[in-house]
Structure 1
Amino acid sequence: MSRQWSAEVAALALSLVGPAMAGGVPVELDPVTVRASQTLQSAAQSSTEGTVTAEQLAERPISRAGELLEFVPGLMVTQHSGEGKANQYFLRGFNLDHGTDFYAEVDGLPVNMRSHGHGQGYADINFIIPELIGSLSYRKGPYYADVGDFGAAGSANLRYLDELPRSRAEVSLGEYGYYSSLLAASPSVLDGKLLLGLQATRYQGPFQLEEDMKKFAGIARYNQGSATEGFTASLMAYHIDYTAPDQIPQRAVDGGQIDRLGFIDPSDGGTVGRYSGALEWRGLAERGNWRAQAYALKYRMQLYSNFTYFLDNPDDGDQFNQFDDRMVYGFSARRYWLLPTAIPADLSLGLQARYDDIAPVGLYKTRARERLATVREDQVREGSAGVFLSSTQKWTPWFRSQLGLRADAYSFEVDSDLAANSGRADDAILSPKLALVFGPWSRTQFYLNYGEGFHSNDARGVTTTVDPLDQTTPQDPVDALVKARGGEIGVSSAIVPGLSIAASLWQLHFDSELVYVGDAGANEPSGASRRRGVELSLYYALSDWLALDADYAYARARLDSEDGDRIPNSIGSVYGLGLTVPDIRGWSGGLRLRYLGGGPLIEDNSVRSRATSVVNAQVGYRYRQRYSAKLQVLNLFDSRDHDITYYYESRLPGEPADGVADTHFHPVEPRALRLTLGLEL
């Protein structure tokens, strides 16, 4: 590699140096020398993106794996059912359900499931081993050419560690029957490192209905070479079995029929299995580098839920079974060039392809997990291919731009048990992107962003022409791909010593909104929606041993509808506040406040949820770098708030046949202590 090529690489790297992260807030770094053998990463193109390290992930107390995503400023994670179900996500005025407009991937493997048995874009990250995650990168808004389906509100990429400094064994014990063990090692094999991890967890839970959750997660990951030259091969396995104390009606608690930790249907719950294999290759090429990945994933879910109790079936109850059994195959490739132009510029060209073979995806009426009737059962084959281009131009020392264009094509094929709902469909969409970045001036940068994105709809909705319940009522198919348009003005600054801050004003428009229908436990498309808001994040090093981080987000969400313009479960205000002690002679600790504001539960805003506040804490001690102990206190002040609240009609025994409209909630779990003891060899 020539000296001229090395100089070009170093020059562009210096000109595009971007923000690092401190507690989830961008920090403008001083320039560093980058050798030609290293991968060039473009600087941040908005104020609402960043990367969190493994050390920062370990400092925050969490009660479940999904809460790692709360490192994304303004994102909150809740749960309305058992531990084996995907979490509920709230971001930028969205109740993202279980992931419809927030894209997630782990080591390059997609998490969101298309045409899923429970909900479109279902994103269940319970399969990860949090202690072995090496980094979390996030980006918000539809401004990134390499992010396609489900990424309009934001996206996150979790990556496992390439290696461990020492083998590790951990045992965790906690209240309410919590037991967990972790074994992990990183032996050298040939010229690379093998990461091996196995975690087993049991949890009975604090509810009157024991969850009896049994979870197993494992990873075998081999990495050889560097970030730009080499390859990675990985195998992941996950299985969980659980009973779910689901959401309950407020009137049953007020009337003394059940406790706030009680239940209605004791047989809700399910099982999930997820098994995957992936290969990634990396290499240098003329004036740049390339990366390619291929993967295969086996996924199977059985989910039993009963939201309306005895409304539709007074004798057997309204429990239903959602079943999903699929194989997912995918491939991605990306080529990066430094361009020989008068101004420093680069170019990225990428291809992403995915094919879901779902056989079957079904909805069944059940009683105590026994199937009584089939509502619908479908074989779905859904394929997609996306191509994107992205280029950064460094016009002056204080101004750069990034242009992007993405093209996606989808194919849907549904074989339904009702012939009228079978069919084929195709659709395609173009998504332009633009970012303008000004600065740095005094370690401060300003950002202007515009982008278009989309989410796909369930393949069954795309081909359905008849209501599957009565098999006669005509039903209009939904659009296959729904466009989103967003814009943002942002700033990030580290002008004050020890203080890093990021702020943004944003807006997002969707051509069609998904509205939650409680009595069906599903979502249906509605009119267009408009969201706008403000976000603020900061990180302040109060001293060498104490740091403060805070983030605040406000969103205004409106729906184009004659029945009311509020979007059910869209949350206005969200904030988090944390204190962290990274390490003082072996001691470390963290304290975190999570606040989820109230929001409308129906379109006319006549019923609203109340706010939820929870404080978690942890303290840890490490002795001679081999022995460790960590004590977590979850829900430190024993909050009795709601994890999530819905409003819809349900029926309990003895109530009117047409049911009672009421709020239904899942409570925050009561205060719990968990102790983890670790040994490194």
Structure 2
Amino acid sequence: MRSLLKSGFICIALAPLAGMQAHAGGVQGNTSDSLATVIIAGNTTAQIGLADSANQGMITAAQLENRPLGRTAELLEAVPGMIVTQHSGDGKANQYYLRGFNLDHGTDFSSSVLGMPVNMPSHAHGQGYSDLNFLIPELIHTIRYKKGTYYAEEGDFSAAGAAAFDYKRSLKQGLASVEFGQNRYRRALLANSINTGPGILLAGLDVSGQDGPWNTPENFKRINALLSYSWTSNKDDFRLAAMAMQASWRSTDQIPQRALNAGLLDRFGSIDPTDGGKTARYSLSMNWKRQLDGGNIKANAYLIRSHLDLHSNFTYALDDTENGDQFRQTEQRTVFGWDGERQWTHQLAGFDSETSVGMQFRADRLSPVGLYSTRAQQLMSTTREDQVKQSSAALYISNTTVWQPWLRTVAGLRADRYSFDVNSNLAANSGKLNAHIFSPKMSLIFSLNKDTEVYANWGQGFHSNDARGTTQTADPKTGLKTDADGNPVTRASPLVKATGKELGVRLNGLVNNLQTSLSLWQLDLASELLFTGDAGTTEASRPSRRTGIEIANYYTASQDLIIDADFAISRTRFRDHDVAGQYVPGSIERTASIGITMNHDKWSGGLRLRYFGGRPLIEDNSVRSAASTLVNAKLAYAINKNVKLTAEVLNLLNRQVSDVDYYYASRLPGEAAAVNDIHSHPAEPRALRVALTLNF
């Protein structure tokens, strides 16, 4: 902890160099009829946003416009401290890192779009799987983010944080764009909005594909569509939206370092060229909000249908020297749910106060979710196949009270109840289970002056475990009541508690037009539960503690030039004393992001540097991944008011670094025995993309 504090003071010294991301606010003092929400996007005002923590924010469409973007999910890298990578094909969910976590494909970071949850529990490829490929970046209106366990409205998967995506309701002009780049990259976008009836109809179609630099062409193909209708009538605001996404690809998965050293493969080679997948997602959603005297009421409802069919081979010939270790993960899922909230302002013991009461419900039906052994995508055997019914319901209450002009509190309580029902092909792994958890929250906010605000936050949250793990009593591969080491197969805890605490400050005006936020945080997890996708088992890992320092800056150097700089340092350790070691494999330790955005006359663009620090890959820290630094650039020229030419260069310095590193045992074809090795997926080499955009 002492080393973290020392590093934090170094970061503070660097704070005046740049400025912070947009901040989302909370309740403002000295109000009568309404407790207002103040939102600061960039440097639109010199007043500090009165948020509930130092780590809330809002990223606007204008801030996203000039960000170079290699993959859709890299939109989340606008969240300070977030790293987005990929270890396989572009059609599947990305790998996320934040606050000392290797979040895998989404566990412990919650994402939503128009009120619909993105994280998928009990998913075939990993708990909390968050595939953002269905987003159309140009139509994003805002991304609101929160970090920590301090918000009563946030539930499952949000221990590290949460992000909510909102789409635009209309476009000033129609948008048509074509884009081409190296490695057969191509993309076409068409979007427009029209006034029809009492509201606005917005439609968008996005078609893209590429082969990538891989020796086995990726043949990635994706199509996205959005159709929404929104209207405002008197005090009501209403929106209906339909989305659809389909994608298919060939995967080049991570490869072992020894194969590179021996010259068996180059950086872009693959061991099993038949890996790949296809996926689809379709959804309908409704959002409604009504303004009432002294408050409002809002409700959302959604229906999602999704599919994944994925073939992977990470260990090559470790288990089956003759046919190889390729496995298929597949699921068919239907999700339906709703949530509602009533918020009102009132007096509490004579003080201005605001209370919100909310209810949330979600049901997932998987029929089935399966794991199979395959060779060249041909079925060989079934490891496990399950019919899963999982439901959750939540009730929460949150109160904000302004006790003095310099002090307000936010107190909340959340109650969640889960129901798991698993019907497995192996009877010993079938069963039903109910579980519940309570999560209290408390924040103190001190407004020292108009330019300084201090936050003290504490709260509990949780993540759910894969439903199959809560009922398992036998190894799905062998049918035995013991695992490969002879230990009894035990059921995993369904809900895992997280406890977070944080001290933070927001500062405005360390230098003119500079906004800064700084936080010191800690997060304890009762257990890091892991779903082992290729084995079909859920393992209860050890309790852990994460501590860290984060600093975010947003500096408006001039009307045409904005600089942002974010730094994060984390320390992650297991809290027990296992002889294996105290380090959590894959846990992120240091990140930095520095960006420059320019708009001048007909020119606009952005330059971004991303530092992804080294990580321990094994519990005793004897094997580590290397750090990496990538620079991306974007430059646009407006030929006239309706035509724009854009050039984007990804990995500008052409750095040969890893996107993802793992350490585990594998066996190459022809090897006599298993070998523990680093397995890596490379960052893609420098690539140029050029787009022509027409407004009509």
Q: What is the rounded CA distance, in whole Å, between the counterparts of 2:174 and 2:339 in structure 1?
A: 32
Q: What does residue 386 of structure 2 align with?
A: 378
Tell me if the contact between 2:185 and 2:209 (Cα under 8 Å) persists in the aligned partners: yes
Q: Per the alignment, in what secondary structure is the counterpart of residue 218 of structure 1?
A: strand
Q: Partner of 2:163 in structure 1?
A: 156
Distance 2:29 2:449 in 1: 23
Deviation, 1:287, is 2.2
Which amino acid letter does the alignment assign opposite residue 450 of structure 1?
W
Q: Which of 69, 74, 83 is the aligned partner of 1:76?
A: 83
**Aligned 8 A contact 2:175 2:693 in 1:** yes
Q: Secondary structure at the match of 1:472?
A: coil
Change (3 A) 1:418 1:224: same
Following superposition, the deviation at residue 517 of structure 1 comes to 6.1
Please say if 1:477 is aligned against 2:491.
yes
> Compared with structure 1, are the counterparts of its residues 556 and 12 closer, same or farther at alpha carbon in structure 2 (3 Å cutoff)?
farther
Runs of 4+ with >4 A deviation: 12-17, 515-523
- 1:290 aligned partner: 297
1:37 maps to what in 2? none
The one-letter code sitting in structure 2 at the alignment partner of 1:668 is A
Which position in structure 1 is the counterpart of 2:581?
564
User: How many residues get paired?
Assistant: 659
8 Å Cα contact 1:326/1:356 also seen in 2: yes
Q: Which residue does 1:110 correspond to in 2?
A: 117
Q: Matched residues in 1 for 2:505 and 2:465: separation? A: 34
Residue in 2 that maps onto 1:574: 591
Distance (Å, rounded) in 1 between the aligned partners of 2:41 and 2:95: 26
Structure 1 residues 510-525: aligned runs within 5 Å: 510-514=525-529, 520=535, 524-525=539-540
AA matched with 1:11: T
Say which is worse superposed, 94-103 or 583-592, in terms of deviation: 583-592
Aligned partner letter, 1:20? I
| Alpha-carbon contact 2:40-2:48 (below 8 Å) kept | no
Shift of 1:167: 0.7
Q: How far apart, CA to CA, are the structure 2 residues paired with 1:594 and 1:472?
A: 47
Question: 2:524 matched to 1:509?
Answer: yes
Counterpart of 2:212 (choices 205, 230, 244) is: 205
**d(CA) in 2 for partners of 1:87, 1:661:** 25
Please list the CA deviations of residues 341-386 of structure 1 after superposition, one character each: whole Å capped at 9, or x if unmatched. Answer: 4111010010110000100000000001111000000000000001
- Could you give the per-residue CA deviations for residues 247-272 of structure 1, whole angstroms, max 9, x where no partner exists? 01111011000101111000111000
CA distance in 2, matches of 1:134, 1:461: 38
Instruction: Report the TM-score, using the length of structure 2 for normalisation.
Output: 0.92
2:667 aligned partner, one-letter code: R
What CA deviation, in whole Å up to 9, does each residue of 1:213-234 have, x standing for no partner?
A: 0100000011101796221000
> What secondary structure does 1:345 align onto?
strand
| Residue 586 of structure 1: aligned partner | 602
| Counterpart-to-counterpart distance in 2, 1:172 and 1:314 | 44
Deviation at 1:473, TM superposition (A): 2.5
Equivalent residue, structure 2, for 1:425: 433
1:263 is the counterpart of 2:270: yes
1:443 equivalent in structure 2: 451
Q: Distance in 2 between matches of 1:389 and 1:252?
A: 55
Rate the CA distance shift 1:519–1:235 in 2: closer, same or farther, 3 A.
closer
Distance 1:298 1:620 in 2: 38
Separation in 1, partners of 2:429, 2:271: 34
* Alpha-carbon distance in structure 1 between the residues aligned to 2:71 and 2:669: 34
Residue 398 of structure 1: aligned partner: 406
Q: CA deviation at 1:288?
A: 1.0
Give the aligned residue type for 1:117: A
How far off is 1:545 after superposition? Answer: 1.4
Please give the alpha-carbon distance, in whole angstroms, between the structure 1 residues aligned to 2:692 and 2:132: 24
Give the distance between the partners of 2:364 and 2:531, measured in 1 at CA: 25
In the alignment, the residues of structure 2 paired with residue 531 and residue 61 of structure 1 have an alpha-carbon distance, to the nearest angstrom, of 31
> Is 1:656 matched with 2:672?
yes
Counterpart Cα distance in 2 of 1:487 and 1:528: 17
Report the secondary structure of 1:46's partner residue.
Answer: coil
Gaps of 5+ in 2: 1-27, 483-488
TM-superposed CA distance for 1:10, in Å, is 9.1
- Out of 522, 538, 549, the position equivalent to 2:564 is 549
In structure 2, do the counterparts of structure 1 residues 226 and 57 end up closer, same or farther at CA, with 3 Å as the change threshold?
farther
In the alignment, which residue of structure 2 is the partner of 1:645? 661
Write the deviation string for residues 554-610 of structure 1: whole angstroms up to 9, x where unpaired.
1000012512110000011111111110x2112101000011100110111110000
Identity %: 47
Determine the structure 2 residue equivalent to 1:29.
Answer: 47
Distance 1:416 1:523 in 2: 14
Give the conservation status (yes or no) of the 8 Å contact 1:221–1:232.
yes
Asked if 1 retains the 8 angstrom alpha-carbon contact of 2:157 and 2:463, the reply is yes
1:183 aligns with 2:203: no
- The letter for the 1-side match of 2:244 is A
Task: State which of 237, 248, 265 in structure 1 corresponds to 2:244.
Answer: 237
Which range is displaced more, 359-368 or 495-504?
495-504
Cα–Cα, structure 1 residues 597 and 520, in superposed 2: closer, same or farther, change >3 Å? farther
Q: Summarize the alignment of residues 610-649 of structure 1 with structure 2, pairs less than 5 Å apart.
A: 610-649=626-665
Name whichever of 538-547 and 451-460 sits farther off: 538-547
2:684 to 654, 669, 674: 669
Contact 2:48–2:450 under 8 Å retained in 1: no
How far apart are the structure 2 equivalents of 1:220 and 1:484? 38
Task: Mark the CA change 1:585 to 1:138 in structure 2 (over 3 Å): closer, same or farther.
Answer: same
TM-score normalised over the length of structure 1: 0.94
Of the three residues 222, 225, 228, the one matched with 1:218 is 225
- Specify whether residues 520 and 591 from structure 1 end up closer, same or farther in structure 2 by C-alpha distance, changes over 3 A only: farther
Matches within 5 A, 1:20-169: 20-22=40-42, 29=47, 43-169=50-176
Q: 1:637 to 1:600 in 2, by over 3 A?
A: same
Amino acid at match of 2:587: S
Q: Distance in 2 between matches of 1:18 and 1:554?
A: 29
Say which SS state the counterpart of residue 558 (structure 2) adopts: coil
Q: Which runs of 5+ in 1 are unaligned?
A: 1-7, 32-42
Distance of 2:540 and 2:507 partners within structure 1: 40
Deviation at 1:9, TM superposition (A): 11
Residue 4 of structure 2: aligned partner: none
Q: Which amino acid aligns with 1:483?
A: K
Partners of 1:230 and 1:548 in 2: CA distance: 36
Partner SS, residue 415 of structure 2: strand
Structure 1 residue 656, shift from structure 2 partner: 1.8
SS at match of 2:334: strand
Matched-pair contact (CA < 8 Å) for 1:103–1:112: yes
The answer on whether the counterparts of 2:371 and 2:534 sit within 8 Å (CA) in structure 1 is no
Task: Say if 1:107 and 1:62 are closer, same or farther in 2 by CA, change over 3 A.
Answer: same
Q: Secondary structure, in 3 states, of the residue corresponding to 1:437? A: strand
1:379-405, CA deviations, whole angstroms, 9 ceiling, x for partnerless residues? 000000011101100111111110000
What is the CA distance between 1:152 and its match in structure 2? 0.5
Deviates more, 1:543-552 or 1:530-539: 543-552
Partner of 2:10: none
CA contact (8 A) 2:176 2:190 kept: yes
Aligned equivalents of 1:152, 1:50: Cα separation in 2: 17
8 Å Cα contact 1:518/1:648 also seen in 2 = no
Alignment-mate amino acid for residue 318 of structure 1: D
Range with bigger deviation, 84-93 or 543-552: 543-552
Write the distance in 1 (CA, Å) between the matches of 2:97 and 2:577: 22
Q: Please say if residues 28 and 444 of structure 1, whose CA atoms lie closer than 8 Å, have aligned partners that are also in contact.
A: no
Q: Distance in 1 between matches of 2:533 and 2:666?
A: 9
| CA-CA distance at 1:293 after TM superposition | 1.1
Q: CA deviation at 1:21?
A: 3.0
Q: Post-superposition shift, 1:484?
A: 0.2
Determine the structure 1 residue equivalent to 2:177: 170
Where 2:104 maps in the other structure, the secondary structure is coil
Q: How far 1:299 sits from its partner (Å)?
A: 0.5
- Look up the SS of the partner of 2:172 in the other structure: coil
User: Which residues in structure 2 correspond to 1:405-424 (within 5 Å)?
Assistant: 405-424=413-432
Residue type at the aligned position of 2:185: Y
**RCO (CA 8 Å, sep 6+): is it higher in 1 or 2?**
2
Paired residue for 1:365?
373
